[in-house]
């Protein structure tokens, strides 16, 4: 496995983050910056409120959503990926008596279990769904461009398009609230070096321009400015709603299996075959990044996993079965219409970062908006 570590190896003594994150910093006690920051954020509202205060905050949020959507067909937009967090949120919003419009982005990589989960949720909970099916030729070209760029950011086009679709649909239907399944319990730790540039339109279009087939990208990309307009001018609110409840992932899965015929695909992000390949093969093999470290560390600081158990789980191979890995890579190459040799050649290309491409990091306005966005995320988390 290739790693990008230039300094001596060290692992945090509280979580399981280690020096495979090039930006990791340790304090004198051996605690890393990620878990120390996450612990501070976990104390902030709404997550850090007492159960009683949290219940009151949730009640207030529900009333605001209901009031903004009064006399409308829908009062909130919810993303539906078929995964645990978004599926459980769909179940909750119906329990709360809200009128959600489900939004799904079909980027061509849904796993059969993910698709079945979405179908079951919409049918059993009686939720209308808006599906944004991407033009496969255009999206394929963008994904291949990111693979060839050799930065660890292969998933940001999908993340960007999902966010853009949620805002666009909310605006079209006159809906003021986007209720998201993102949550601090499982996502408080996400190293920047492992994935960045989600709202950096300059970076995304530069990568496409260099490696895509056409000169111009035909897929709308949401910029940091575009998002600021949705939030500040159009007043569409994005709320990480699971932070308002006592969210226990395993308990949530049990509920959903019982009431929504929800199928477990056994691992995080198993709803998308591409995400699985990126997180369980490309990132660890090419960059030395094992995203389970960030995920398990988030659960450790949220008291939902012990460090001992996390270290044990990290010893398990990412792909349990080599046949499955071969099957997934063959599937990827077939879909991308490239040979396995070509894919292996891309895997061997030197690793790069966002800094090797034109990006918005030198723009003062972008930096200010980015700081505001982080502050906003912290407040909402």
- Applying CB under 5 A, the residues found at the interface with Zn ion are 12, 14-15, 17, 32, 35
Is the CB of 32 or the CB of 98 nearer to Zn ion? Answer: 32
Other Cβ atoms within 10 Å of 134 Cβ, number: 18
- CA-nearest of 43, 39, 47 to 245 is 47
Please tell me the total number of residues recorded for the chain in this structure.
Answer: 381
In whole angstroms, how close is the CB of 193 to Zn ion at the nearest point? Answer: 15
Nearest to 239 by CA among 61, 82, 70: 61
What is the CB neighbour count within 10 angstroms for residue 373?
16
- Closest to Zn ion by CB, 104 or 293: 293
- Nearest CB to Zn ion, comparing residues 19 and 117: 19
* Residue 159 C-beta: closest distance to Zn ion, Å: 24
Please report where in the chains the tokens 């093999």 appear, as a residue.
Answer: 285
Between the two ends of the chain, the Cα-to-Cα distance in Å is 34
Nearest to 262 by CA among 132, 131, 79, 80: 80
Question: Which of 35/273 has CB closer to Zn ion?
Answer: 35
Measured from the CB of residue 301, what is the shortest distance to Zn ion in angstroms? Answer: 8
Whole-number Å distance between alpha carbons of 130 and 202: 28
Taking the least distance from each CB to Zn ion, the nearer of 32 and 217 is 32
As measured in angstroms, the least distance from the Cβ of 33 to Zn ion is 8
What is the rounded CA–CA span in Å between residue 298 and residue 80?
Answer: 22
| Residue 23 or 334 with smaller CB distance to Zn ion | 23
Triad 25, 381, 78: Cα angle to 5°: 130
Cα–Cα distance measured from residue 170 to residue 168, given in angstroms and rounded to the nearest whole number: 5
Taking the C-alpha atoms of residue 147 and residue 282, their distance in angstroms, rounded to an integer, is 9
Closest approach of Zn ion to the CB of residue 18, in Å: 9
The CB-of-306 to Zn ion minimum distance in angstroms stands at 14
Shortest approach of Zn ion to residue 31 CB, angstroms? 6
Distance CA 355, CA 51 (A): 43
**Residue placing its CB nearer to Zn ion in the complex, 14 or 291:** 14
Provide the minimum distance between the beta carbon of 191 and Zn ion in the complex, in angstroms, as a whole number: 11
Closest CB 14 distance from Zn ion, rounded Å: 5
Residue 60 CB neighbour total at 10 angstroms: 12
Q: How far is the CB of 374 from Zn ion (least distance, A)?
A: 19
Angle at 74 between CA 369 and CA 82, to 5 degrees: 75
Nearer of residues 35 and 184 to Zn ion, judged by Cβ: 35
Nearer to Zn ion, 33 or 132 (CB): 33
| Separation of CA 3 from chain center | 23
Element (H, E) at 78: strand 76-79
Give whole-number Cα distances, 36 to 12, 13, 233, 297, 333, in Å. Answer: 10, 11, 35, 11, 41
The CA-based angle 279-1-346, given to 5 degrees, is: 65
Phi first, then psi, for residue 153 (nearest 5°) are -100, 30
State which residue, 16 or 161, has the beta carbon closest to Zn ion: 16
């Amino acid at each position: 496995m290739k790693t990008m570590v230039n300094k001596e190896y060290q692992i945090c003594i509280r979580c399981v983050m280690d020096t495979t994150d090039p930006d990791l910093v340790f304090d004198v006690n051996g605690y890393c910056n990620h878990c120390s920051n996450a612990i501070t954020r976990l104390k902030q509202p709404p997550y850090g409120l007492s159960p009683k205060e949290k219940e009151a905050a949730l009640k207030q949020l529900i009333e605001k959503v209901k009031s903004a959507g009064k006399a409308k067909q829908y009062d909130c937009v919810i993303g539906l990926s078929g995964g645990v967090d978004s599926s459980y949120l769909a179940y909750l919003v119906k329990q709360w008596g809200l009128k959600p419009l489900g939004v799904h982005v079909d980027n061509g990589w849904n796993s059969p279990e993910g698709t079945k989960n979405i179908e079951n949720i919409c049918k059993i909970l009686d939720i209308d769904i808006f599906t944004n099916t991407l033009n496969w030729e255009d999206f394929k070209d963008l994904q291949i461009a990111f693979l060839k760029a050799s930065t660890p950011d292969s998933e940001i086009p999908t993340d960007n398009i999902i966010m853009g679709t949620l805002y666009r649909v909310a605006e079209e239907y006159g809906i003021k609230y986007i209720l998201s399944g993102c949550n601090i319990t499982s996502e408080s730790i996400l190293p920047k070096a492992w994935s960045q540039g989600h709202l950096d339109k300059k970076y995304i279009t530069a990568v496409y321009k260099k490696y895509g087939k056409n000169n111009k990208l035909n897929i709308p990309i949401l910029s940091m400015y575009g998002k600021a307009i949705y939030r500040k001018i159009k007043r569409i609110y994005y709320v990480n709603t699971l932070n308002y409840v006592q969210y226990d992932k395993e308990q949530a899965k049990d509920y959903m299996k019982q009431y929504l015929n929800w199928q477990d695909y056994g691992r995080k992000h198993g709803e998308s075959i591409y995400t699985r390949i990126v997180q369980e093969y490309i990132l660890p093999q090419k960059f030395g990044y094992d995203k389970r470290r960030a995920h398990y560390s988030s659960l450790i600081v949220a008291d939902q996993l012990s460090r001992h158990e996390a270290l044990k789980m990290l010893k398990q191979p990412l792909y349990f079965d080599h046949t499955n890995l071969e099957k997934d890579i063959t599937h990827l190459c077939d879909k991308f219409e490239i040979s396995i040799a070509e894919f292996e050649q891309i895997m061997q290309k030197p690793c790069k970062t966002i800094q090797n491409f034109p990006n918005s990091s030198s723009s003062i306005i972008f930096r200010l908006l980015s700081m505001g966005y982080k502050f906003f995320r912290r407040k909402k988390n």
